[in-house]
Structure 1
């Protein structure tokens, strides 16, 4: 008999090793992609993904807009599949992100985008996947086989690859990523995670929020809590939270705030003030540089670069989902009714 959650726990723990492997071996895979991008007359970028990979795509959107100054959109795949729209994609770079590379809607839309003139790139964790075959260029996640239904190491591997891709495309130094494996190792096994899991064991509703590069972390954390713990978790950007959803916040609906050290953290200060005024039960996920009042806190490593910090930010929240699920006697490796590969059309 296997122990519930053992796959998810092992894959969370593997992340520093996976990220170090990517950083030691990316050049051979990335160099031909960067050469093609630099020769391409790019006017805009489209990102296509589902589920956890969609949150990685949102992270890439922030990177591309801030580092490259290009307009970026998230693809509605039904435009190409259900509605059979005829797109004109000359000058477009199309980046498809998928752990499995097997979702039919991603494959079909990428095939159509390539035929419509887009330069297509597939980032997948499965060699020889249909999505790889559909795209002109390929990047391997190099995360190793992921067996738990809840994606963990493929998410952080995707973030690492997307940062390398965008920073390399922008002509920046990739040396800044050297500290990432150590940051992730420092975010593992924080005792405060167990305390927060105990605090929220019987919670049925929860909100996650952040701004900027950390906003995808809020979305990914909410997804992990939903799929492993079966609670109602809603993710909002801090700006959107203040535009209406704040009305539902009270002391009975905890709010997990991922607060980076940087512009995104400064943008969150009015949100933290409003949450404090409402008496909200706030769990602050932040490095020691961030000072704010909260009912609970999960500390993150100090000195992280804001653009790269999401790779480490999500790790204690993955462990929170794991520990909270186990405390409720669920097996997060096998969420009810879910499969590792979701076949959307």
Structure 2
């Protein structure tokens, strides 16, 4: 048996709903509650970060949280005008080489549990160099939160399924809230009022039409750009975790630089289209894939995704940042259904644990 295709776990036939599906469905209400509970806290954090006026910012994360970190980078650079780098945990946890240039620089450390040893060691190392640690955590009493000067709880509640869903969505909303306050972006701040309605609609959007063309797939590409590139990264990760499907995420702008040659007739391509200027050139790229005989599945504006064999339902009348978050909310329903269709248990991916204790 290939390492890419472990034996499917047995799934109790009587179980009406997986934990993954149930927890993903909680995300919209959790996000609404988060925005209410964090209103004053995040407003004050934004004020502190504006006063800090750092020359750059950095993120610190692994796994799904690192996709959230990439989303934060996009928001900070496009809405806040703050260059943002990804600080590899091993630079601090193993090499202890965090630069003194981090003095006065926000280090946005993102972790659902706040307990991964390498993140804690890296945060300690960065703080020793004068970094301002900003913890985005589900557990506000975690060791990571204790190390931070600014703590933003995501209020996702207990998450039992190994595959993160609601904690990821809540983290994206928390980051959007923080960066909207930090940058004082009026349009982004106003968009937060729509989070509940947008995510509720996304949670009920039916993406399971993609189960049939993906059920027997062995590999696929997931495409995004701008705000949806981190969403594509999270989707590809979940396809690996829950479906044992070798999925890789690429930028719509970069996929023609080599990866496109791997796609042939019948190969699936999932495009999570952006709703902002990053959609430039998308239709041409999807037409290229369709001409190769690929099975193109896409979510986005109708005029952009017309070449797709299957167009997934999505909202076009919302802020592009919320539209991107809505895509992963909808995708989780597809990932859950596809995992079951392929004979796996999405709540218990093989070889994975809820807290990854990387050193």
Mapped pair 1:155 → 2:168: yes
Task: Report if aligned partners of 2:47, 2:181 keep a CA contact under 8 Å in 1.
Answer: no
Give, in angstroms, the shift of residue 21 of structure 1.
0.9
2:31 corresponds to:
19
Find out whether 1:33 has 2:48 as its counterpart: no
**Which of 101, 124, 131 does residue 137 from structure 2 map onto?**
124
Matches within 5 A, 1:221-300: 221-288=235-302, 290-300=304-314
Separation of aligned partners in 1, 2:274 and 2:198: 14
What residue number does 1:6 align with?
18
1:97-116 superposed matches below 5 A: 97-116=110-129
8 A contact 1:226–1:232 mirrored in 2 = yes
Partners in 2 of 1:278 and 1:86 — Cα distance?
A: 46
For 1:172 and 1:118, the matched residues in 2 are separated by: 25
Q: Which residue of 2 aligns with 1:176?
A: 191
User: Which whole-Å deviations, capped at 9, do the CAs of 1:191-230 have from their partners, x for residues lacking one?
Assistant: 4x22211221111111101111110111000001100011
**Aligned residue in 2 for 1:336:** 350
Counterparts of 2:201 and 2:304 in 1: how far apart (Å)?
Answer: 17
Query: Offset of 1:188 from its aligned partner?
Result: 2.2
How many residue pairs align between the two structures? 344
- Work out the CA distance in 2 between the residues paired with 1:275 and 1:39: 47
Q: Give the gaps of 5 or more residues in structure 2.
A: 1-11
Separation in 1, partners of 2:330, 2:284: 25
Report the CA distance between 1:127 and its aligned residue: 2.5
Q: Distance in 1 between matches of 2:301 and 2:238?
A: 22
The answer (yes or no) to whether the contact 1:210–1:268 under 8 Å persists in 2 is no
Q: 228, 241, 263: which one pairs with 1:214?
A: 228
3-state SS, counterpart of residue 270 of structure 2: strand
Q: Give the alignment's TM-score, normalised by structure 1.
A: 0.95
1:190 aligns with 2:202: no
* Structure 1 unmatched ranges of 5 or more: none
CA contact (8 A) 1:197 1:323 kept: yes
Which 4+ residue blocks in structure 1 deviate beyond 6 angstroms?
none
Q: With the length of structure 2 as denominator, give the TM-score of the two structures.
A: 0.92
Q: 1:237-276: per-residue Cα shift (whole Å, max 9, x none)?
A: 1122110011001123200001122212224233223212
Q: 2:57 pairs with 42, 45, 63, which one?
A: 45
Contact kept, 8 Å, 1:288 with 1:300, in 2: the verdict is no
Q: Is the 8 A contact 2:314 2:327 kept in 1?
A: yes
**Corresponding residue of 1:87:** 99
Q: Distance in 2 between matches of 1:249 and 1:103?
A: 37
| Number of the residue aligned with 2:7 | none
User: Do the aligned partners of 1:5 and 1:322 also contact (CA within 8 Å) in 2?
Assistant: no
Q: CA deviation at 1:41?
A: 3.4
1:308 is paired with a residue whose SS is: helix
Moved more, 58-67 or 172-181: 172-181
